[in-house]
Chains A and B, each alone.
Chain A
Amino acid sequence: MSSLQDIAVILRTYRIGEADKIVVLFTKDHGKMRAVAKGSRKTTSKLGARLEPLGLVNVILWQGRNLATITGVDVIDNFAEVRHNLDKIMMATTMLEIIDKSTLDNQENDDLFQLLTKALATLDKNFSPGILGAFCFRTLMIEGLTPQIDNCCSCNTTEDLTAFNVTVGGVLCKNCQSGQLISQQALDTLKLIFSGQLAKALHMCSHVPELRNEIESLGINTLEHHLGQKLKSHLNLTTWV
């Protein structure tokens, strides 16, 4: 048994027992971890509010034989602006779910940790509509699943790339096309995302709403394909009314 300290983003919580929570943490140095926060659902609990999903915290854990127990938490950033904006919350929770589903317990992944914390900080500061799409593709890149976008996945040509197909792993030309159509603008944006020019990519998306939607749905579809499951949090709140 030992005690450990780390920085973590709270991915989600589960209620357990009368007043406890199981907290899923994405830590910087120890990867994804599960820990119990005893009594944290009581209104008098100091732990409780500091262990809401989305918080960036400094956490002290006591590692027992089974599940770790949270013994201390300090908030580094609550991303208050995200919490006060419905669109930002929806994007941020999708990011949390993506990280939760693409990581295994106790496997350190500093690149993903940096990606998540930077994305949340960016979302907190200003509203960049393209950020979720960019986040999806950066996650795929870190996981070694970058789609091929420079030449046709079937005949290798670099001309007339018009379609994107997750099952073949990237773009297809006009002659080979299958999957969904992709705009030239979306292709250009993807190139910016993969070459690390995120600011430019986000700038493009913020001026063209259709582009933002295109990149986002391409990113979500590709991730869902690799995860082998749907992302629950990618809810569309406006469709049914």
Chain B
Amino acid sequence: MIDELSRLPGIGQKSAQRLAFYLLKRPKEDALRLARAIEIVRGKITVCERCFTLATEQYCSICRDPLRESDLVCVVEGPQDLVAIEKTHAFSGLYHVLGGSLNPLDGIGPDQLRVRELLARVQSDSIKEIIVCTNPNLEGDTTAMYLARLLQPLGIRVTRIASGLPVGGDLEYADELTLERAIAGRQEVVE
């Protein structure tokens, strides 16, 4: 059990040991409830055939929602990013989960990601704009530039989420890369 637990992300040998002993100390029912929950969820969950996020049916609840704008697609690296964006309630389009980002240093190219699937969606659905919401790092930026090169010739507007300063932070403590992007992505002040 310790071996199994220590395979989870962020769990080392020590934490795994602690979790295992905790589960053994609790009433048997508690541990079995957790085991059942994992079994049920794992058994039901599949991947949405359109956007590749986690789903319990052929299409996820977002893809099935008729009120979402279907010509606007937000490209994310993983389902956890989709959840984060959904929490903002600021986006009303659909998603596309790439399954990572272009990472030349690890040899991850378009073939290792769901880029072909995105291209197929762009060609068959009437998508007008792709918002690239990959992480603001070298790999995420590379992915955004690559998608722009791939999709812009097809008449698709490709945008990138703005990068800026964290809310509540002090400007003088910002790093140069973030500050440079915040200046490049400046906006008109509207009263």
If A52-B137, A83-B138 touch, whether A241 touches B119 (CB-CB below 8 Å) is yes
Is B10 close to A, CB under 8 A? yes
Complex CA distance for A78 and B145, rounded to whole angstroms: 18
Task: Name B116's closest neighbour in chain A (CB-CB).
Answer: A240
The residue that B111 contacts in the complex, of A53, A89, A240, with Cβ under 8 A, is A240
A98: min CB distance to chain B, Å? 11
Cα–Cα, bound, A84→B177 (Å): 12
Number of A-B contacts (CB under 8 A): 74
The answer to whether A89 touches B142 (Cβ under 8 A) is yes
CA distance A240 to B109 in the complex (A): 10
Bound-complex Cα distance A44 to B174 (A) = 9
In the complex, what residues of B have CB within 8 A of residue A53's CB? 105, 138
Report the separation of the CA atoms of residues A18 and B138 in the bound assembly, to the nearest whole angstrom.
20
Q: Are A232 and B104 in contact (CB under 8 A)?
A: yes
Give the contacts of A8-49 with B (CB-CB under 8 A): 12, 17-18, 43-44, 46, 48-49
Size range of the interface on A?
A: 20 to 34
Interface residues of B (CB under 8 A from A): 10, 12, 104-107, 109-111, 116, 119, 137-138, 141-142, 145-146, 149-150, 166, 169, 173, 175-178, 180
Chain B, Cβ-Cβ closest to A55: B177
Rounded to whole angstroms, the CA-CA distance of A18 and B12 in the bound complex is 10
Is the Cβ of A49 less than 8 Å from the Cβ of B175?
yes
* Contact indicator A49/B173 (Cβ below 8 Å): no
State whether the Cβ of A97 lies closer than 8 Å to any Cβ in chain B: yes
Q: A17-B10, A235-B109, A237-B109 are in contact. Are A46 and B173 (CB under 8 A)?
A: yes
Contact of B104 among A18, A84, A235 (CB under 8 A): A235
Chain B residues with Cβ below 8 Å from A93 are: 104-105, 138
Residues of A within 8 A of B116 (CB): 240
Contact assessment for B105 and A97 in the assembled complex, using a CB-CB cutoff below 8 Å: yes
For B141, give its contact among A43, A83, A97, A235 (CB under 8 Å). Answer: A83
Chain B residues closer than 8 Å to A52, beta-carbon distance: 137-138, 177
A80 contacts chain B at the CB level, 8 A cutoff: yes
